[in-house]
Amino acid sequence: MSLSALDLLHRAVADAGFTFVHAPAMRALLEQQAPLSDWAAFAGSWDRLEPDAYLARTGRARRRRHGAYRATRDGAIERAPHRPHYQSLDYNPLQGGIERWFAPIEDGIADGASLRCILAFARSVFDRLAPDVRAWQVEAHQFRIEATPGHAGEPTPEGRHRDGVDYVLVLLIRRDNIASGTTGIYRVEDGREVGSFTLTTPFDAALVDDHRVLHGVTAVSPLDPAQPACRDVLGVTFRREDGH
């Protein structure tokens, strides 16, 4: 019996701890969940992200919004009350150890068709990878990295890292006038690189087992210094709620 695209994706993450999904395949997988009926509005919401005031304290620039959800295996994916994003210093030596309050994802986007479809897809994959989990704490992060002449943008200013969760989905939304931004994947045990790829086309995606691998993204710079340059991504993290 031939394996489906979802079967192959699941097997890749189970075997290697990560996988890169090209845009056409990723879009098809999402549309198997539900129509992306508000995609234009969803992608356009990146133009209304707020500055990351915490990163600005280190002399770096980034825009973002944040949303929290709870996902059960057989139930609805429900929005949770807006809360701070927290990582320990073990996972984020640059900004860990503090509660970071970011602007919330706009209501129409947070409850919109595209984001709901992405969350449902991620749950379908991560439920299969962790069949013992009954409920997940989910966070959605909208990021915009801007690059200007003489000031490279840093998608991962903390360097190679883990997010301190169970699984991560990263989806490219937009990439304008940007050079580089290569994602590297590294073994937790010894830091050896086991993969690299560049998100170049909207819907290019990566799925990561955060227990098994580190990830990092190289700095980005403008192709044309006279024009605006940005890299927009959605990051979604799943952390088991039950503590098993």
Radius of gyration for the chain, computed over Cα atoms and rounded to the nearest angstrom = 17
pLDDT at residue 24 in the model? 97
- The answer to whether 92 and 161 have CB atoms below 8 angstroms apart is yes
CATH annotation of 5-240: 2.60.120.620
Give percent of the chain with pLDDT exceeding 90: 77
pLDDT in tens, 44-96: 999 999 998 766 455 467 899 999 999 998 888 999 999 987 766 665 555 65
pLDDT at residue 244 in the model? 43
- The answer to whether 149 and 188 have CB atoms below 8 angstroms apart is no
Is the dihedral angle over the CA atoms 54, 188, 206, 209 positive or is it negative? negative
Domain boundaries, the chain: 5-240
Cα–Cα distance, 123 to 129 (Å, whole number): 10
Mean pLDDT for 180-207 is 97
Element (H, E) at 69: strand 63-72
pLDDT in tens, 7-31: 999 999 999 999 999 999 999 999 9
Cα–Cα distance, 92 to 85 (Å, whole number): 12
Burial class (CB in 10 A: 0-12, 13-18, 19+), 238: buried
Q: Residues near 25 by Cβ (< 8 Å), separated by ≥ 6?
A: 5
- The answer to whether 216 and 186 have CB atoms below 8 angstroms apart is yes
Mean pLDDT for 147-164 is 85
Give the pLDDT band of residue 1 (cuts 50, 70, 90): very low
* Chain mean pLDDT for the chain: 90
pLDDT in tens, 159-178: 898 999 999 999 999 999 99
Q: Residues near 94 by Cβ (< 8 Å), separated by ≥ 6?
A: 58, 157, 158, 159
